[in-house]
A = this chain, B = another copy of it.
């Protein structure tokens, strides 16, 4: 997907919501457990309930690999169900030497047809570049993640006085521009978001760690939005497991997604972006 198309989708839906398909067999409704492929049945239900409210879907590969080849089959079938106009993210956090990175790129872009893949920066340029060889396909590079352990290394200072995650962002500008490169920035770190926007003014930021609540959404928009919106906000558990009522779980999912979308519409309207 092209950057301009993504921006147009966001404006049209008044939403920059990404729904994380972290589907866990232990957490899906009992009624679906009887299905031949419960993971797929659940993903279908989530997509039906949210597709007009979100612009992106992000399956995390771990949740599929945990079920081996059968899990990967479910992922492939899920990809077939995601509508064309949604931006799809393989949340894989891969990073390996050149010829291996090329294989991963084939897996996600050619074999499975994703628009983008999350990539870990630790191994440097030749671990990232193979993902950049596909037209209208994207790398979403881990910069500052939402977990507690992000402080272990990402927030170390380098000898030049920058945070390590800033070294990653600065270096990666040499590899690709904002038409192919986004960054992962955790919503739990809003204090750094403005700092990141300053050194990555044009790139989209994928922000995980926002729940259905969204009290943080305002702070994230203030610190992170640019003239092209520039944000994709992901919610996984906060939306897909919001349906507590067994019989009517799809309604719960839709309600949770709607709540976030409404907040997003307000934020976009306030800023005159739609």
Contact = CB atoms under 8 A, between A and B. Distances in A.
A53 interface: no
Contacts of A127: 147, 149
A125 B147 CA distance: 9
A171 B159 contact: no
A213 interface: no
Interface in A102-137: 103-104, 106-107, 111-112, 120-128
A148 B127 CA distance: 9
A253 to B, nearest CB: 19
Interface residues of A, number: 59
A146 B100 CA distance: 13
Contact of A149 (B60, B68, B123): B123
Given A149-B124, A164-B153, A65 B103 contact: yes
B156 A157 contact: no
Interface stretch (A91-99, A217-225, A259-267): A91-99
Given A63-B103, A65-B104, A159-B161, A153 B126 contact: no
Interface stretch (A2-10, A32-40, A69-77): A69-77
A124 B154 contact: yes
B111 A124 contact: no
A67 interface: yes
A108 B104 CA distance: 18
A148 B112 CA distance: 29
B106 A66 contact: yes
Given A63-B103, A100-B62, A164-B153, A122 B125 contact: no
Contacts of A97: 145-147
A195 interface: no
25 contacts: A60-B96, A63-B100, A65-B72, A65-B104, A65-B107, A66-B104, A66-B106, A68-B72, A68-B76, A68-B112, A69-B69, A93-B123, A120-B122, A122-B122, A122-B142, A123-B149, A124-B148, A126-B148, A126-B149, A127-B149, A152-B171, A153-B164, A156-B158, A159-B159, A159-B161
Per CB-CB distance, the 3 closest pairs between chain A and chain B, nearest first, are A124-B149, A124-B152, A62-B103
Interface of A: 22, 24, 60, 62-63, 65-73, 75-76, 93-98, 100-101, 103-104, 106-107, 111-112, 120-128, 142, 145-154, 156-159, 161, 164, 167-168, 171
